[in-house]
Every structure is written in structure tokens, then in C-alpha cells.
């Protein structure tokens, strides 16, 4: 078994056939998906059949074992799973991640990501790079490699390759840390801040708003989960409803701190449109 090319694509979120009611047509956000020669990891939406309408992301190209990636992604890939009720790479759309996060969970095996996609900063603010449930994701990376080796009855993916993928996910953070997920969320958002031409005062203001928002988001996420851990559909509806009341003022405060021009350059959508993109 050899490594094969992985390619990530982006489609404007308001393109024909992929719309959210009420989202302005000029919003600069994108749906992302990943392909390999064999698989179509459509990440809750359009995928391989729509490549001709999509833009290849330079940040999203590399090579990896496609069976390993598909074990992580799960069985619900391809055009027949576009109604967004199916999980992708362990994520449930607009609850613990969106298409950018699902794509990154596959691409990390190839040392790639969808950072070139429009709307990446707004996804980082809400869900980080890989979405929530990081420990379960890390276990899926290990289990996926183990299944490849078991199915092949030989060592195809070495321990060093598994450890390299995990290191790309967690960076220099401690793997066993109880706060690993929070640490990753903050570090990924810091990466976005570092890409912007912000003054120290602007960066500090945005950082303070973000920290307060994530504390509220974590509390709402935990409270929603505690009500019925087996009712995912109810989770998604209730979580989205509760989070809209927190996300909109958060983005409004960031726009106030940065000014409209810098805010739109960073997040590529006004607060109302960003909320629709992230939470429906």
C-alpha cells in the first residue's frame, strides 16, 4: 500500500446548490472538501462531483494513506451523504465542527490543511482547527492506523508515522493535559491573530473578547451535553440556539475593537452572516 495524493477544494458557500437561507450572496465564506483517488470526503456537503466548480487549495495538497484517512473519516462519505445529518471524521456539523474542521482531520495525515479557504478565521474562532472532541479524534487516528495494519496483515503505517500525525495535531502541547482541547483552541486562534496586521492594543482587545466567548461556549456545550448524551439531533438544535446569543455580540465586540475594515479583512463576513455560516 502506497501513499496517494490528497487534494482539498473550496466552493463559495453561497454558490448555486449550496446555500443557507438568509446568507447574503456576497459573503466570502467557503465550503471545503477533500478527495483522494478512491475517496470523496465531502465534509457535510458538495464533494468530488463538484470539483469543476471548486478551487484547489494549495494549503490542502499532500500525500498520505487513503485507507487510514477513510478509517478516521468514517463510512458516511460521498454525494449520498450531503444532507448534513451524518457525521464526518467524528464531527456533527455546526455542533462540534464544520466542513473546515472535518477536512483538516483528514488532511493532517498529509501535512496539509484548509487554511487557504475563505472563512478560515471565523471557523478558528468558533471550533478551532480540528473541532471539539480532540481526545476522541486522537484515538481515531491511532485506531485508524491499527485497522490498516490489521487488514493488511502487516505493518503498513509505522508507530513513527502515527506519532508524527499526532504531533502535527497537538503541536508542543502536552498530550495528557486535561485542558488540551482548550489549549489548542486558543493557540489556533492566536495563529490567526498573528496573520493580521493588528496593533498590540487591537490584538489584546480581540484576545480578551475571544477568551470570554470561549468560556461561555464551553459552559453552554457542557450544559447541552448533560441533558441527554444520546440525543445528537436535539444537541445540535439547542446548542445552535444558545450559541447564537453569545456569538453575535462576540463578533460585534470584535468589529468595534478592530473597525469594520480590519474586521472584514480578518473574518470575511459581517457578524450576522458569520453566525449563519457557523450555526445555521
Tens of pLDDT, residue by residue over 225-275, are 766 666 666 777 788 888 999 999 999 999 999 999 999 989 888 999 899
Q: Quick check: is 150 in a domain?
A: no
Rounded-to-10 torsion of CA 170, 173, 175, 181? -70
Q: How far is the C-alpha of 190 from the C-alpha of 198, rounded, in Å?
A: 12
Q: Quick check: is 273 in a domain?
A: yes
Q: Quick check: is 161 in a domain?
A: no
Q: Quick check: is 140 in a domain?
A: no
Residue 220's domain spans which residues?
4-135+173-279
Q: Quick check: is 27 in a domain?
A: yes
Percent of the chain scoring above 70 in pLDDT: 90
Q: Quick check: is 48 in a domain?
A: yes
Report the helix count and the strand count for the chain, using DSSP H and E: 10, 4
**What are 201's three cell numbers?**
492594543
Q: What is the total count of domains within the chain? A: 1
Global pTM value: 0.92
Strand partners for 122: none
Q: Quick check: is 60 in a domain?
A: yes
Q: How far is the C-alpha of 146 from the C-alpha of 158, rounded, in Å?
A: 9
Q: Quick check: is 142 in a domain?
A: no
Element holding 33 (H helix, E strand): strand 30-35
Residue 191 predicted with pLDDT over 60? yes
Q: What is the pLDDT of residues 192-201, one digit of tens each?
A: 888 788 999 9
Contact between 143 and 90 (Cβ < 8 Å): no
Amino acid at each position: 500500500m502506497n501513499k496517494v495524493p490528497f487534494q482539498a477544494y473550496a466552493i463559495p458557500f453561497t454558490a448555486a446548490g449550496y446555500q443557507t437561507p438568509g446568507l447574503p450572496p456576497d459573503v466570502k465564506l467557503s465550503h471545503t472538501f477533500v478527495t483522494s483517488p478512491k475517496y470523496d470526503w465531502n465534509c457535510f456537503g458538495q464533494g468530488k462531483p463538484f470539483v469543476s466548480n471548486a478551487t484547489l487549495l494549495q494549503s490542502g495538497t499532500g500525500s498520505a494513506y487513503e485507507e487510514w484517512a477513510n478509517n478516521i473519516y468514517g463510512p458516511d462519505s460521498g454525494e449520498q451523504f450531503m444532507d448534513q445529518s451524518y457525521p464526518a471524521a467524528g464531527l456533527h456539523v455546526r455542533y462540534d465542527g464544520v466542513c473546515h474542521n472535518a477536512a483538516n482531520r483528514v488532511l493532517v495525515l498529509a501535512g496539509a490543511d484548509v487554511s487557504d479557504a475563505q472563512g478560515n478565521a471565523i471557523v478558528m474562532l468558533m471550533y478551532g482547527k480540528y473541532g471539539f472532541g480532540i481526545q476522541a479524534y486522537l484515538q481515531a487516528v491511532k485506531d485508524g492506523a491499527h485497522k490498516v495494519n490489521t487488514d493488511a496483515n502487516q505493518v503498513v503505517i509505522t508507530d513513527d508515522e502515527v506519532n508524527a500525525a499526532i504531533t502535527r495535531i497537538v503541536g508542543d502541547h502536552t498530550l495528557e493535559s486535561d485542558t488540551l482541547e482548550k489549549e489548542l483552541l486558543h493557540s489556533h486562534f492566536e495563529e490567526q491573530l498573528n496573520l493580521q496586521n493588528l496593533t498590540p492594543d487591537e490584538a489584546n482587545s480581540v484576545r480578551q473578547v475571544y477568551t470570554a466567548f470561549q468560556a461561555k461556549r464551553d459552559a453552554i456545550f457542557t450544559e447541552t451535553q448533560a441533558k441527554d448524551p444520546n440525543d445528537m439531533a436535539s444537541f445540535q438544535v439547542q446548542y445552535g440556539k444558545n450559541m447564537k446569543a453569545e456569538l453575535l455580540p462576540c463578533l460585534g465586540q470584535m468589529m468595534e475593537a478592530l473597525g469594520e475594515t480590519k474586521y472584514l479583512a480578518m473574518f470575511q463576513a459581517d457578524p450576522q452572516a458569520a453566525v449563519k455560516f457557523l450555526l445555521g
